[in-house]
Amino acid sequence: MQRMSQLFTKTRREAPADESSRNAQLLIQAGFIHKEMAGVYSYLPLGLRVINTIKRIVSAEMEALGSQELIMSTIQNKDIWEKTNRWSDEAVDVWFKSQLKNGNEIGFGWSHEEPITDMIKGHIASYADLPRYVHQFQNKLRNEVRAKSGIMRCREFIMKDMYSYSLTEEQHIAFYAKATDAYMNVFRNVGLGDRTFVTSASGGLFTEKFSHEFQTVCEAGEDVIYVHKDGTHALNGEIFTDETLQKMNAERSDFEQKKAAEVGNIFTFGTKKCEELGLYFTDAEGNKNMPFLGSYGIGITRLMGVIAEVFSDDKGLVWPASVAPYDVHGIVLDGKEREAEGIVQALEQKGMNVMYDDRADRTAGEKFADADLIGIPWRIVVSKRTMEKGMVEVKNRQRSAIEYVSEAGIVEKLKTV
């Protein structure tokens, strides 16, 4: 249980003047994040809880894919990136760089294909060592020119990146398909399934061969996609051409243009990067060969931003139950602390996580406004009136209806969707 009297963060009535994005405005107002500078945010206790919950959802899918977790360094070795011609600012325009005391240049990790491929050289020797899948939750640093979408595009952000080293292109393609399904599971599990589409992409910094994006329909998104009227698939701007439509036997009018945010992407690197970095294995016939590399990213903090954009209303945030910082927001009024504590403790014992507004110096109106702003799925109120009825007031953040439920019936009620 988190007592609001002890929670150090405070809500704000007014949106911060220096934020134009809705996600940052709401998350700052509700005390989830703190802005350090444009594109750089810290995550306060409520925000960190959401991040950790999203990480757990992603971890479960990574584990099911057989991927092993590690954590690479932020400080990057110039030599490794020079081998793949991605050190220079001309090749990669988002590097932050600095120097050691001896004058040697270092970079700060904006991506990790190179160091992971270099590291894994010490652990892959023969075909028996493949395939291998590894992933991390990494704090990426990118020197972005533009940073005005709150936590949806940052100079510092958390990304889950996974890398697959396959024996053959066939093996890669099969894993790539499994990874695509795993990613869709993630987006479904955080509540964005019905508005997230896998779209084909081509071109761009990473791509040698095929790649896909996961695009979530969202007004604040920086991308444009074309969603088929039947809602089953979408095309991104690059491939929404007459040629593609002809191949699909479809018409422009079958699709609707929507703004979208890229919440994930998957890339096929092929064997080139392994060759550049010297990652080889000996195949069954004793020949030297390169693994087939794939890379798979989900922007964890961006995903949180998109969820905040999509699930919010004029009163505040409306977290899906699966990623909410707490399950229940308990409010005590009229000095009914003893009764409220008992109910809250009982909920905690039944495995529910409760934010408990025990603040004595706030009015009912202030407490209700904070509950709406913070956006925990269920609100329960224990007051003189509810106790007279022998009941607890229960309200879902997504609905306006208020219900009175007996103490014994609360858990059952909170399990309904």
Residues in contact with a second copy by CB under 8 A are 6-10, 12, 31, 34, 36-37, 40-45, 47-48, 51, 66, 68-77, 96-98, 100-101, 106, 108, 115, 119-120, 122-125, 128-129, 132, 134, 139, 141, 143-145, 155-156, 361
Nearer to a second copy, 182 or 318 (CB): 182
Residue 384 beta carbon to a second copy: minimum distance, rounded to whole angstroms = 25
Residue 190 beta carbon to a second copy: minimum distance, rounded to whole angstroms = 20
Nearer to a second copy, 228 or 359 (CB): 359
Residue 308 beta carbon to a second copy: minimum distance, rounded to whole angstroms = 17
Residue 143 beta carbon to a second copy: minimum distance, rounded to whole angstroms = 6
* Alpha-carbon radius of gyration of the chain: 24
Nearer to a second copy, 156 or 393 (CB): 156
Residue 269 beta carbon to a second copy: minimum distance, rounded to whole angstroms = 18
Nearer to a second copy, 98 or 416 (CB): 98
Q: Confirm if 30 and 46 have CB atoms less than 8 A apart.
A: yes
Alpha helix ranges (H) inside 323-406:
337-349, 364-374, 384-389
Beta bridge partner(s), residue 275? none
Enclosing H/E stretch for 47: helix 45-64
CA–CA dist 228, 282 (Å, integer): 46
CA–CA dist 225, 213 (Å, integer): 11
For residue 126, give the DSSP letter.
B
Nearer to a second copy, 184 or 323 (CB): 323
Residue 294 beta carbon to a second copy: minimum distance, rounded to whole angstroms = 15
Nearer to a second copy, 71 or 177 (CB): 71
Nearer to a second copy, 52 or 207 (CB): 52
Q: Which residues of 338-361 are buried (b: 16+ CB within 10 A; e: fewer)?
A: ebbbebbeebbeeebebbbbbbee
Residue 373 beta carbon to a second copy: minimum distance, rounded to whole angstroms = 15
Length of the chain in terms of residues written: 417
Q: Name which of 402, 140, 168, 163 is nearest 284 in CA terms.
A: 168
Residue 153 beta carbon to a second copy: minimum distance, rounded to whole angstroms = 14
Q: What is the DSSP string of 201-260?
A: E--SSS-SS-EEEEEEE-TT-SEEEEEETTSS-EEEGGG-SHHHHHHHT--GGGEEEEEE
Nearer to a second copy, 95 or 378 (CB): 95
CA–CA dist 298, 162 (Å, integer): 9
